[in-house]
Structure 1
């Protein structure tokens, strides 16, 4: 639950470079009225700028949930996850890996880096939407989360 305003004010950062997956996730949020406002970036570099509120994202909201693809250009999803979970200001933010990789080594590496969940992207769009709805509702409506740690900008 968003610490200050409940789920109505919750922000979800989607880090995904596949346009088809982005469209499916945006459509799922809209059609199923999922909690939270979805914000999308397509690279690990842009996600870091968002999370650290740099450059064009200086006024970006601190996300209450990050949905992260592992296969990203430049800064990988795994590197981004490691950065987030090693930063005292960001490590409380739940990070859910949404990936097509069923590799055991990717799964283990994600959890060792601090992922809060690892979800495979099903091929079937309805099954994918169902999983997305379940995980989003859990993290933003069911789980009680600590407040985000203050950032230097605050």
Structure 2
């Protein structure tokens, strides 16, 4: 048995949270998912401050761009600047397909960028393709 892949999902839309959880279940990935709803909570979680002092750091971060308080780009810059976090792969998972957003994400060392498709099967396929590239590198084996 392997340790579950710990995913931190930073998303403020309840429907997208559910859809992401379903996608990982459909892909048969052994995971546990922590969810925070805004950029400030993401930074607190990653720095283990406030309510998140006892959390385990994630193996993978799925990060929306359009978030309350701090947007995804600000969270990504925080991760990039923090030596204890910059090893965590960050996949931007967003409705934005703007070239500016994509370029900025990669400029700050995002590991991948998924534009959320409106079709559930396309979404599962996009998650599977992107995670398939990163899973062997990040999934811990017992």
TM-score where L is the length of structure 2: 0.90
Alignment of 1:126 with 2:117, yes or no, is no
Q: What residue is the counterpart of 1:104 in the other structure?
A: 99
User: 1:29, CA displacement in angstroms?
Assistant: 2.2
Which piece of structure 1 moves more, 12-21 or 30-39?
30-39
Which piece of structure 1 moves more, 131-140 or 99-108?
131-140
User: 1:137, CA displacement in angstroms?
Assistant: 3.5
Matches within 5 A, 1:62-81: 62-81=57-76
Q: What residue is the counterpart of 2:16 in the other structure?
A: 21
The question of whether the paired residues in 1 share the 8 Å contact of 2:62 and 2:90 is answered with yes
Extract unaligned runs of 5+ from structure 1. Answer: 1-5, 146-154
Extract unaligned runs of 5+ from structure 2. Answer: none
TM-score where L is the length of structure 1: 0.83
For residues 56-92 of structure 1, the C-alpha deviation after alignment (integer angstroms, 9 at most, x for no partner) is 1111111110000000001000000010011111111
CA gap of 1:7–1:136, structure 2 versus 1, over 3 A, is farther
Whole-angstrom distance in 1 between the partners of 2:128 and 2:108:
24
4+ residue segments displaced more than 4 Å: none
User: 1:126, CA displacement in angstroms?
Assistant: 1.0
Which of residues 25, 28, 37 is equivalent to 1:30?
25
Whole-angstrom distance in 2 between the partners of 1:31 and 1:106:
28
